[in-house]
Amino acid sequence: MTLPPILRAAMGPLRLMVQDRLAVIGMCVLGVIIAMALFAPLLSPHDPRHINEIEDGSVLARNAAGWELRESLGPLALNDATHRDGQSIIVGRSGTVWTRAGTGDWARIDVATEADLNGVDLNASGRAIVVGAQGTILLGNDLDWQLIPAPEAVLRDAVWLDNDRALIVGANEEIWLLDATAGTFAEIDSPVGRGFPLNSVALDADGTALIVGERGLAIRYDLEAGTATLERIGSSRDLNHIHIAPDGAALVVGERGTLVRRDGADGAWVTDPAPDTRALRAGWIGDNGRAVAAGRNGIIMEWDGAAWQIVQTESERHLRALLVVGDDWLALGSDRFVTRLSPPSRDHWFGTDHLGRDLFSQNVHGSQIALLVGFLGATLVVLIGTNVGLIAGYYRGRTETILMRTVDVMYGIPFEPFALILVLLFQPSLTIVILAVSLLTWRTVARLIRSQVLSLRERPFVKAARVAGASDLRIMYLHIFPNVLPLVFLELAIIVGVSIIAEATLSFLGLGPPQSISWGGILHDARLSGAWRTAWWWNLPPGILIMTTVLSVFFISRSLEVVANPRLRARQ
């Protein structure tokens, strides 16, 4: 087989490298990481900057220690729940209905609708009314469900007034009286009539129904008189939910931590100071003075008899309903919530960070900056270093003195602090980071190449070239340079590793290129958020990736060392 001379010359060192098992491993690993950087968008299942949210049928249960997450009821959000005579029912998005008897297991009920269900109530004979979007009204008990035809409307809540008649409220100020036996509606005129959304309705102790809605709207409907009248409860915030205990204690909750309480049927409405100003979506009050409210971002407050206390905020789930059966207290949710700090799962292989961003995708994208700075920085370093070394070693004399003094001066500059000052004085950017990485590192290369050139320039082949009339440039770059090439490649490999660590260091200190994703930057975020002490899935992968990349480069450089220094070959 005949090969061109250049290729044949390259074969020798290559064969030497292939003989070294560690070098082969290094090349394979580096190949994988380079592929990772090139195909990052294809490989990452999520956009690394996207804030991920999921929906979940979350259930939190109260125990002695506080509120604890239980096994989810399916992947769909739960919107409302009610309980009567040992029977409990939960409704949620996309036609979700769950029931249970006593405190047994929840069972999913099939209903003939895909609409989002918003409100539920049970009457004394165990019949349920469920209302939802698209004018959905369902009546039924365990297995027998019947869809009542109704006009298009977003219905929010319903309550039984007696065994036969129910009051339904909707988002466009609808107030409908349903006759369950006949299946007919009567539309009740609202005293406001301006299309305010009505959010919740409850049966008061005197048999009338109390409706709450946006902008502090409260309407009392009297079945006997057939009239709806405005009621003042002293709040102008959007009210989300009302709950009234059998003896008349009542709780209304709303946006921005609104809590309005009434101690008994004849009591006055009192607005309580709330310990948190996030939206509250559900409230429950008992006649024995116990009360609880739940809302967005997993917030749960309990009434301790004198004030509201926050008892739970660590969950990110949005709670929408409370179900209290004796000592079994459940908080239900959750519409789309940000999956913060979730441990590795099938959807997020390396978990998520404090903003709910996918860490696997971030780690994959991080390889781009690492390799870019690594190779670009190293090329720059070797380019400067080799030329300075060549010129200094070849020309000697004053040129050498000036260049080598410069190198000496550079050895007096501590690397990391210099890079810090450079980046901070000139605003972090990719260019400045590469400059900071490479501006000092070439000092070693220059020294090494120079000492090699010093011995090479005295060799006969250089003298022969000079006698033949070759120019200085020709001798330097065509005769001497190929002989230092193995050393150049060795230095290139080592400095790629050094540059990758240097970039990671700068990014870790928060001085990396802004708006970029890098391994050091991921660790910077982890440290800054304070969650790194618990979220191991956040800390481990970037460090392991940096280590693997640099290690593979070092392995390759070790085999290049054998190529560059033939004395090492003999003793293998």
Partner 1 sequence: MTRRTYLIKRVLQAVFSLWIIATILFFLFRMGLPDPTAALITEGLNAEQRAAVRAQFGLEDPLWRQYLLFLTNAVQGEFGTSFSYRAPVSEIVWERLGNTMILMLAAIVLAYAIGVPLGAWLSWRRGSRTDTMGIFVGLMFRSAPMFWTGMIAILIFGVGLSIFPTSGMRTLPYDATGFWDKIFTLDFLWHAILPVLIVALYYLGSPMLIMRNTMLEVYGEDFIEMARAKGLQERDILYKHAARNALLPVVTQLAVTIGLAAGGQVVVEVVFSWPGLGREILNAVRTSDFPLAQASFLIMAAFVISLNLLVDILYTTLDPRVSFR
Of 91-99, 116-124, 421-429, 449-457, the segment contacting partner 1 by CB under 8 A is: 421-429
Tokens of 307: 């004030």
- Position among 15, 102, 142, 411 found at the interface with partner 1 (CB under 8 A): 411
End-to-end CA distance of the chain: 29
Distance CA 147, CA 126 (A): 17
**Binding flag, residue 29, partner 1 (CB under 8 A):** no
Among 307, 424, 464, 528, binds partner 1 (CB under 8 A): 424
412 lies in the binding site for partner 1 (CB under 8 A): yes
Name residue, tokens 């003094």: 405
Q: How far is the CB of 409 from partner 1 (least distance, A)?
A: 4
Q: Which stretch binds partner 1 (CB under 8 A): 35-43, 48-56, 198-206, 419-427?
A: 419-427
Binding flag, residue 422, partner 1 (CB under 8 A): yes
Asked whether 430 and 516 are in contact (CB, 8 A), the reply is yes
> Among the candidate windows 100-108, 159-167, 240-248, 563-571, which touches partner 1 by CB under 8 A?
563-571
Considering the rule CB under 8 A, would residue 522 count as an interface residue with partner 1? no
Amino acid at 207: G
Residue 411 or 477 with smaller CB distance to partner 1:
411
Residue nearer to partner 1 on the CB measure, 132 or 428: 428
- One DSSP character per residue, 207-271 reads S-EEEEEGGG-EEEEETTTTEEEE---S--SPEEEEEE-TTS-EEEEEGGGEEEEESSTTPPPEE
- The residue within the footprint of partner 1, chosen from 523, 556, 560, 563 (CB under 8 A), is 523
Q: Which stretch binds partner 1 (CB under 8 A): 102-110, 133-141, 350-358, 536-544?
A: 536-544
Question: Segment contacting partner 1 (CB under 8 A): 2-10, 30-38, 53-61, 551-559?
Answer: 551-559
Q: Which residues contact 418 (CB under 8 A, 6 or more apart)?
A: 436, 439, 440
Burial 344-374 (b: 16+ CB within 10 A, else e): eeeebbbbbbbebbbbbbbbbbbbbbbbbbb
**Should residue 571 be labelled a site residue for partner 1 when binding is judged by CB under 8 A?**
yes
Binding of residue 527 to partner 1 (CB under 8 A): yes
In terms of Cα–Cα distance, which of 29, 35, 9, 6 is closest to 556? 29
Supply φ then ψ for residue 301, to 5 degrees. -120, 145
Q: Which of 315, 348, 311, 349 is nearest to 332 (CA)?
A: 315
CB of 35 to partner 1, least distance (A): 20
Smallest separation, CB 48 to partner 1 (Å): 20
Tell me whether residue 375 or residue 418 sits nearer to partner 1 (CB atom): 418
Chain-centre distance for alpha carbon 411: 43
Where does this chain touch partner 1 (CB under 8 A) — which range of 257-265, 311-319, 334-342, 537-545? Answer: 537-545
| Both tokens assigned to 111 | 């209903």
Q: Hey, what amino acid is at 523?
A: L
Q: Which residues of this protein are in contact with partner 1, per CB under 8 A?
A: 22, 405, 408-409, 411-418, 420-422, 424-426, 497, 501, 504-505, 508-509, 520, 523, 527, 532-533, 536, 539-540, 542-543, 546-551, 554-555, 558, 567-568, 570-571
